[in-house]
Amino acid sequence: MKRALLLLATMLATPAAAQTVAITGGTVAIGDGSAPIEGGTVVIANGRIVAAGRGVAVPAGAQVIDAAGKWVSAGVVSALTDLSLVDADGVQESNDAGARNSPFKAAIDVSLAVNPAAVKIANERLFGVTRAIVTPSAESSIFAGQGAIIDLGADPDAVTRPRAFQFVELGEGGGKLAGGSRPAAYALLRDAFAQAQDFRRNPAAFDGRSRDALVTRADAEALLRVLDGQVPLLVHVERAADIRNVLALPRDYPKLKLVLVGVTEGWLVAREIAAAKVPVIAAALADLPAQFENLAATESNVGRLRAAGVPVALASTGASGGDHVLRQFAGNLVAIARIPGATGLDWGQAFASITSGPAEAIGMGGEIGSLRAGRRADVVIWDGDPLELSSVPVATWIDGVSQPMRSRQTELRDRYLTPTEGALPKAYERR
Amino acid sequence: MNSIRTRRVLLSAALLALPLSACATAKDKPATTAKKAPPVRYARNPYPSTYRAYPGTPTLVRNVTVFDGEGGRIDGGAVLFADGKVVAVGQTLDAPAGATVIDGQGKYVTPGVVDIHSHLGDYPTPSVQAHSDGNEATAPITADVWAEHSVWPQDPGFGRALANGGVTTLQILPGSANLMGGRSVVLKNVYARTMQAMKFPGAPYGLKMACGENPKRVYGSKNREPSTRMGNVAVDRQTWAKAVAYKRKWDKYEAEGGDAPDRDIGMDTLRGVLSGEIMVQNHCYRADEMAIVLDMAKEFGYHVTAFHHAVEAYKIADLLKSSGTCAAVWADWYGFKMESYDGIGENLAILENAGACAMIHSDDENGIQRLNQEVAKVLSSARHSGIQISDAAAWKWLSLAPAKALGIDAQTGSLKPGKMADVVLWNGNPFSVYTRPEKVWVDGALLYDANDPKRRPVSDFELGQPGSGDVK
């Protein structure tokens, strides 16, 4: 505890973490798809990665941390999560993931709901998650709103990039949100885009404020950023036919920066997705026909997409075990590479699918998601292979700042390691 | 409860303190006994199992690491099974004539995984409304429903649980919308044309109960009792009081004959619980609520076999141990509802460390495919917290402990001679994320083989679909 407090104090005193740190001797996993490098060095300074790999020199004056026998990796990026928007999913009072009764749709900006003090942030940080792609959920329209990129650091400054993308539902769920069918969802999408363009041509004449306006002014502004390609449009679809429809959208909206989400039937159209150069954030192990739009679900989906040349990241969406389940997902994709008839990933690709993969999908690969030079220094030292279930982080930096290694979960654990009460009630037991 | 005729509302504490069998003794028999019609017992097993083991060949797996499911480990060991039963487990075993011999260098053999908490079949995929058959959420007490009458044997999830998870036995439970959700059924994980042909022969029934948020939310939103936790307990107690009276009437009738009391299908189940024939599988998250349920069980004379989910079981590990009640838990699920807010990854480890009965469970059609990995996460949490549990001991959480809590540990759950040859050969250490089942036998029949596409089941629903059951 004392050590954690000291770390915290240091951190608060030096917000930018000017200290140069060299982590030496560990197995380095850069997160860019490359294989792990034994005996590598990672140097961080001014909150950024200076260098990572074998033969990297330790700068004079650097704090040297010996990671021999350990792994040093990029932090995990949790794609498509409600982390920090909810305290407990079933508790509606504090749930900011969706806005069922709001007149605003595409305009919704979840960065304003991000709570850096949310309990889950520290819980998940302790399992190696350092950034998250926080995503609103669509509840009143096919447009969920604008997502944000956050860090999981123990500080009040959580938002890395607000309004980083727009999220839209165009599969079975989109059909229901649009009034009952997929065609209704496409009609809604095209009309919303048309209205956004009307707004651009003549803002003064644009309605956008009346009770029956389908698109508010704020929505129109948000949609223009999508139409202009300023932010990616994340589209949730599962069925192969739906994927093809989405891939056709740029014919009419040429600047769209598409990202496909979910995509359990993606392997059936892998070549088309690859040709369109559209990245995918996939449900990693979804192998059941959960709905009629997932009939071709297979654990090999991600591997087959990757083999066809599609950049694939994994989604943590809906993981009851917390965002850190991503490591397990990625490990399983390595596991199935050994199963006859199945297609998995090699280790470097699997690790990239939960680090640089999601970062690149949302156009932030230059900032986060790997240990390549210049990236924000989100670094985790693990006591073993980061994808293996037996491993945990032993030290973590976010933006080059050393992070405390305690959470509410560790507090509960320590209180109840011996469940019986002692001289005083459990309520008096704390570190 | 539409057919309850009884007007005996509450029993006195004194009556309840009597041994439950007291009503069936002969001393109160009236003089007219001789004229009474002889008793006719109602059928206890009207939908009997028609499961038959598929043929297998005598098989010796040798040069393999064995977790026997009871805490034992043999490195470079061997397992022999024949005629559907485990024959021997040892360091070296001789292959009988004609036996299939498998060299398991670098691989592991374990008992098949037993999942005590599944909704496969009653919440099958595709998860369309037409398939939503797990919660009879029309009244808080539906002890009259039986999960087996909802099971769709073509659920694609059964095959995934077999091939990816090595699951050979599973309990299908009604959902948790209701305080008493109905009877469970235990299945062998073998596809069949009928539910009966999947039923685990001789397995006792379970009664699914639920406390906490779900029942009070479901019925509170219908503006009826229960809408609070105290309402949950009140409705439970009222029902148990009726069940005690029902049992007394039927015990007396079945001992003495005469006019048969009115049948009540739900009360049959509760009578079975009070008689110790049906095991209580109680969904409950919070420690304080589990303690109340344990007292309620004492009040009415039944035993809670296991708390399911039991996210806060670690807080009362000592109480669970002294009550002889198990906890069936996830590895690390937390924070998805208020009552799961205090979930920690050490839950199962703290229970084991305190000597309480504990096990892993899935409650999830995806999680059931990776229960071995869930235990691996528990082991990691344990070891990083200073709790030392061996890999071999941890396998108990995956097979013997759930088999005991289902009342089928004499038949399955460990690799003991004479038990069902429910066996998994893993292609590495099953507590590694990089490991998958290579072969799965159920009653000695090879029903999954990673190296043989013909030994991989495809349910009717998936036949002719784009993915063909993930075998393409």
Q: Which DSSP letter does residue B3 get?
A: T
Q: Report the alpha-carbon distance of residue A151 to residue B470 in Å, rounded.
A: 37
Tokens 């449900």: give the residue. A283
What does the pLDDT read at residue A3? Answer: 42
Q: Residue A206 in 3-state DSSP? A: coil
Same-domain check for residues A105 and A30:
no
End residue of a domain, out of A368, A385, A400:
A368
Q: What is the mean pLDDT of residues A394-423?
A: 97
Number of CB pairs, chain A paired with chain B, less than 8 A apart: 161
Which residue does chain B place closest to A419, by CA atoms? B315
Q: Report the alpha-carbon distance of residue A428 to residue A110 in Å, rounded.
A: 38
Same-domain check for residues A275 and A338:
yes
Q: Report the alpha-carbon distance of residue A422 to residue A424 in Å, rounded.
A: 5
End residue of a domain, out of A316, A337, A368:
A368
Partner-chain residue, chosen from B157, B332, B373, that has the shortest CB–CB distance to A288:
B157
Same-domain check for residues A32 and A80:
no
Which residue does chain A place closest to B124, by CA atoms? A290
Q: Is B127 at the interface with chain A, CB within 8 A?
A: yes
Same-domain check for residues A2 and A113:
no
CATH code, domain with A384: 2.30.40.10
Q: Report the alpha-carbon distance of residue A137 to residue A142 in Å, rounded.
A: 9
Give the closest-approach CA distance of A211 to chain B in angstroms: 30
Which residue does chain B place closest to A417, by CA atoms? B350
Q: Report the alpha-carbon distance of residue B412 to residue B86 in Å, rounded.
A: 10
Interface of A with B in 373-412 (CB under 8 A): 387-392, 409, 412
Same-domain check for residues A189 and A298:
yes
Closest CA to B309 of B369, B366, B358: B358
Task: Supply φ then ψ for residue B161, to 5 degrees.
Answer: -65, -35
Same-domain check for residues A317 and A385:
no
What does the pLDDT read at residue A317? Answer: 80
Q: Do B341 and A88 touch (CB under 8 A)?
A: yes
On chain B, the residues whose CB falls within 8 A of the CB of A392 are 380, 384
Range of the domain at A195: 76-368
Q: Which DSSP letter does residue B379 get?
A: H
Q: Is B117 at the interface with chain A, CB within 8 A?
A: no
Same-domain check for residues A142 and A46:
no
Q: How many domains does chain A have?
A: 2
Strand partners for B73:
B67
Task: Supply φ then ψ for residue B36, to 5 degrees.
Answer: -70, 145
Interface of B with A in 452-471 (CB under 8 A): 453, 461-462, 465-467, 470-471
Closest CA to B88 of B109, B103, B71, B106: B109
What does the pLDDT read at residue B10? Answer: 31
On chain A, the residues whose CB falls within 8 A of the CB of B341 are 87-88
Lowest mean pLDDT across A22-26, A211-215, B75-79, B421-425:
A211-215
Same-domain check for residues A48 and A129:
no
**pLDDT bucket at A15, cuts 50 / 70 / 90:** very low
Q: Identify the residue with better confidence: A78 or B19.
A: A78
List all residues 6 or more positions away from A398 whose beta carbon is below 8 Å from its beta carbon.
A75, A125, A130, A151, A152, A153, A376, A377, A378
What does the pLDDT read at residue B468? Answer: 78
Task: Supply φ then ψ for residue B286, to 5 degrees.
Answer: -90, 145
Same-domain check for residues A86 and A66:
no
Q: Is A420 at the interface with chain B, CB within 8 A?
A: yes
Ordered domains of chain B (ranges, CATH): 112-413 (3.20.20.140)
What does the pLDDT read at residue B202? Answer: 97
Q: Do A295 and B467 touch (CB under 8 A)?
A: yes
CATH code, domain with A361: 3.20.20.140
- Interval A350-385: pLDDT, tens: 999 999 999 999 999 999 999 999 999 999 999 999
Q: Report the alpha-carbon distance of residue A299 to residue A306 in Å, rounded.
A: 13
Same-domain check for residues A243 and A116:
yes
Query: B143, B207 in Cβ contact below 8 A?
Result: yes
Q: Which DSSP letter does residue B373 get?
A: H
pLDDT mean by block of 10 residues, chain B; 472 residues: 33 36 44 76 97 98 98 98 98 96 97 98 97 97 98 98 98 98 98 98 98 97 98 98 98 97 98 98 98 98 98 98 98 95 97 98 97 98 97 98 98 98 98 98 98 95 84 62
- Interval A272-308: pLDDT, tens: 999 999 999 999 999 999 999 999 999 999 999 999 9
Q: Is A332 at the interface with chain B, CB within 8 A?
A: yes
On chain B, the residues whose CB falls within 8 A of the CB of A268 are 466
Closest CA to B269 of B174, B197, B361: B174
Interface confidence, given as ipTM, is 0.94
**pLDDT bucket at A209, cuts 50 / 70 / 90:** confident
What does the pLDDT read at residue B472? Answer: 58
Q: Do B434 and A420 touch (CB under 8 A)?
A: no
Q: Is B340 at the interface with chain A, CB within 8 A?
A: yes
For B118, what's the count of Cα atoms within 13 Å in the CB-facing half-sphere?
A: 32
Partner-chain residue, chosen from B380, B451, B465, that has the shortest CB–CB distance to A295:
B465
The answer on pLDDT for A12 being more than 50 is no
Closest CA to B294 of B214, B213, B236, B337: B236
Q: Is B106 at the interface with chain A, CB within 8 A?
A: no
On chain B, the residues whose CB falls within 8 A of the CB of A126 are none
What does the pLDDT read at residue B11? Answer: 32
**pLDDT bucket at A4, cuts 50 / 70 / 90:** very low
Q: Is B94 at the interface with chain A, CB within 8 A?
A: no
How large a percentage of chain A has pLDDT more than 70? 96
**pLDDT bucket at A85, cuts 50 / 70 / 90:** very high
Same-domain check for residues A322 and A381:
no
End residue of a domain, out of A368, A389, A419:
A368
Same-domain check for residues A390 and A356:
no
The answer on pLDDT for A122 being more than 70 is yes
Q: Do B450 and A340 touch (CB under 8 A)?
A: yes
Torsion of CA A172, A178, A179, A180, to 10 degrees: -20
**pLDDT bucket at A6, cuts 50 / 70 / 90:** very low
On chain A, the residues whose CB falls within 8 A of the CB of B353 are 417
Q: Do B213 and A90 touch (CB under 8 A)?
A: yes
Tokens 């990776």: give the residue. B370
What does the pLDDT read at residue A320? Answer: 77
Look up the pTM and report it. Answer: 0.93
